[in-house]
Amino acid sequence: MRDRAKPFPVDLIDGLSTVLYRSPLDIANSFSSLLKPIISHSALVIFTKDCPLQPLKRTGDPSIVDRVEIAELEKIGQLVMATGAPAWDATSVIGHENHRVAAIFAATDALLVLVDPVETAPATISMDTKRRLVPALWELVAISIRQQVATAPLDHLRDSRMANIERSRLVAELTDAHSTTLELILTVLRSRDTTDSIARQSARDIASAAMVQLRSVSDRDRSLSEEPVARAFERLRRDLRPLTQFGDLDVQFVEPPIDGRALPGEIAHAGRAIVRSAVLTLAEQDGVGRVRIQWDCDGSNLLIGIRDDGPGDLTSETQSVHKLAARVDALAGKLTVSGTPGWGSNIDVRLPLDMPAAFQGIQPEWGLTNRERDVMKLVAEGARNRAIAAALTISEHTVKFHVANVLRKVGATNRAELAAVLR
């Protein structure tokens, strides 16, 4: 509850500091509580591509937040982009029903949607001030989300990588299975043996529409889990724009090829975070006036090159560079530093687009069955029992049975030790 002994702006700043330190998973609920004294709402939804695995953060009326879809938020976002300003009195479908919404984009491209908004701030604050205050607060919260994701623990990066691979694989399998089924339905309905032409036409239309919808779902999921390298680089350019507009640093960008393989979502985001940190590291040196950034993709790796015109004495032992190397290592990548005294330093990063196989060490003497080998490989990749069961089309109980057998035969005491044995 708000401390009424404090002036409203002071209370608001105190509340904002609490929100900014919340984890991304809890930030929606905390931000909703902060905004309600200004604009009451039945639900709050955040849609951010900075979190590829959990792009939606929501709180409020379960009948809305439990049913909200990304496609609905995309349409609301298009409405905001069409006007170029926050939407305060729009009506749109969210949670499968029409609601009044207030929608605001942050500079990070994160979208905030307040459902059924009613302005309730103190009467001493004008309507115009209220509508400038909320976007300003949202801007800070969106930046906090991006920074927290960029500085996530290394284990979180590894888990996210494995979860994203599993998610993409399951979506692809689901898409193929449904597409095949619908293709078969269409084949049957087109058969000359079917006599009811009206039923055939209606069924054909329904099946065709279902296929389009299924492909649309797949495309939306792919847009969150993958990002074209040129688009990812353009987002990086926008992120660093304040350095070129308001600082003395000359940041030069070498455009990547416009074609080629798309980047996995977590690699695109991690690449931008690594470059931002590297540029700030280079800029901290005396005598640095220019930084050159280059991205490329060889089909298997995202290749990042960053060069400055500073003293050229940066090494891998520099504390900030060491932290960068740890983040790169968490993604199975490699960071190298080189320099020429008086001519500048180079930071080169290679991030693999695919998780390297971690299971090169299965030994014949362990006596594993084919199924146990499959389970062991997935355990080593970090998959949980539910994901393993889905991947191998077996029950979780059967997975537990196989895991216990593998641990016994290999001589490991837990899953982490098992993964270490394989590595």
146 and 40 within one domain: yes
Q: Which domain holds residue 378?
A: 364-422
pLDDT in tens, 167-202: 555 555 556 556 655 666 666 566 666 666 766 676
Q: State the DSSP code for 2.
A: -
Last residue of a domain, one of 313, 331, 352: 352
125 part of a folded domain: yes
Give pLDDT, residue 113: 95
21 and 32 within one domain: yes
403 part of a folded domain: yes
249 and 346 within one domain: yes
Give pLDDT, residue 22: 76
130 part of a folded domain: yes
Smallest Cα–Cα separation from 41: which of 96, 105, 120?
120
Give pLDDT, residue 99: 94
2 part of a folded domain: no
pLDDT in tens, 85-97: 899 889 999 988 9
324 and 236 within one domain: yes
234 and 346 within one domain: yes
**pTM summary value:** 0.50
**DSSP per-residue codes, 61-118:** -HHHHTT--HHHHHHHHHHHHHHTS-EEEEEEEETTEEEEEEEEE-TTS-EEEEES-E
Give pLDDT, residue 180: 56
CATH number at residue 53: 3.30.450
Give pLDDT, residue 69: 83
Give pLDDT, residue 11: 72
- Segments of the chain scoring below 50 in pLDDT: 1-6, 155, 357-360
Task: Give the position of tokens 């927290």.
Answer: 148
402 part of a folded domain: yes
23 and 133 within one domain: yes
144 and 17 within one domain: yes
22 part of a folded domain: yes
Number of domains the chain contains: 4
Last residue of a domain, one of 133, 150, 167: 150
Last residue of a domain, one of 290, 321, 352: 352
Task: Return d(Cα 280, Cα 251) in angstroms, integer.
Answer: 11
CATH number at residue 327: 3.30.565.10
297 and 167 within one domain: no
CATH number at residue 386: 1.10.10.10
Residues, the chain, total? 423
330 and 278 within one domain: yes
Task: Calculate the CA dihedral of residues 306, 310, 311, 312 and round it to 10 degrees.
Answer: 10
Name the phi and psi angles at 25, rounded to 5.
-70, -25
